[in-house]
Amino acid sequence: MTTKEERLSFLEEMKDVRRIRKPNRAEVTTPRELTPGHLERQRAAVEKPLRDTNPLTSDMVEPLTAHDVLSWQRPGVQHGVFRKLRLGQYPIEARLDLHRMTVEQSRREVFRFIGDCVRYGLRSVIILHGKGERNPDGIAQLKSYLAKWLPELDDVLAFHSAQKHHGGTGAVYVMVRKSDRDKQHNREIHGSR
C-alpha cells in the first residue's frame, strides 16, 4: 500500500508528462517503390532456379515388404566389421526417425543426417523407417526408398536391418565413413602414411 504522501509525490513528478497521441501500431504497409537490390534479387531468382545438391533419387524403386531384410556393404568393408554391425554390437551414436514423413521429407532428412554424422564423427547410427505393415498394398514405401538411397551416398559404408530389440525390419543400422579430420587424427596417432 502506498501512502497519501507517496501518491502526491508521484503525481508531482509526473505533472509534465504528456500522453502519446500516435497509435501504438506497427507500420505494415509495403513500400510502393522497388529498390535496385530488390529488382536484382528478383531477376536472379528468375534466372537461376535453386539447385538441389541432394543426390538421392526420388524415382520409382523396387518395392519391399514389411519383412524384407535390408543388407548391403561397400567393397572393402571387412567381414567381421559387417558382422558386428549386423548383430547390433556397435553402440548406436545417433538415430533418425522417419515415421510419419513423406518420401520427399525423408529424402532430405536422410541426406542431411548422414552428412551431419560424418561432420560430427558418428560412425554407427540407426534409421527408423517403420515396417509399413499398415499399408493396404503391403509395400514398405520408406524402406524401399532407403534401400536405394543409402548405397547412393558415398559416406555410407554398410547397412543392415536392425535386431528385434532395436526395431527389427522397421529399422536399419548404418555404418558411416570416418571424416577426413578423424582419418588425419588416426594417421598422426599411429604414424602411418
| Single pTM value for the model | 0.69
Q: Any idea what DSSP says for residue 175?
A: E
- Helix-then-strand count for the chain, H and E: 6, 5
So what CATH class is 71-185? alpha beta
Q: Half-sphere exposure of residue 67, counting CA atoms within 13 Å on the CB side?
A: 0
> Does residue 90 have a pLDDT over 90?
yes
Q: What is the DSSP string of 107-168?
A: HHHHHHHHHHHHHTT--EEEEE----TTSTT-B-HHHHHHHHHHHH-TTEEEEEEPPGGGTG
Q: Please state the domain extents for the chain.
A: 71-185
> Does residue 193 have a pLDDT over 70?
no
pLDDT digits (tens, 9 = 90+) for 11-52: 888 888 887 777 777 777 766 777 788 788 877 777 766 666
Beta bridge partners, 75, equal: none
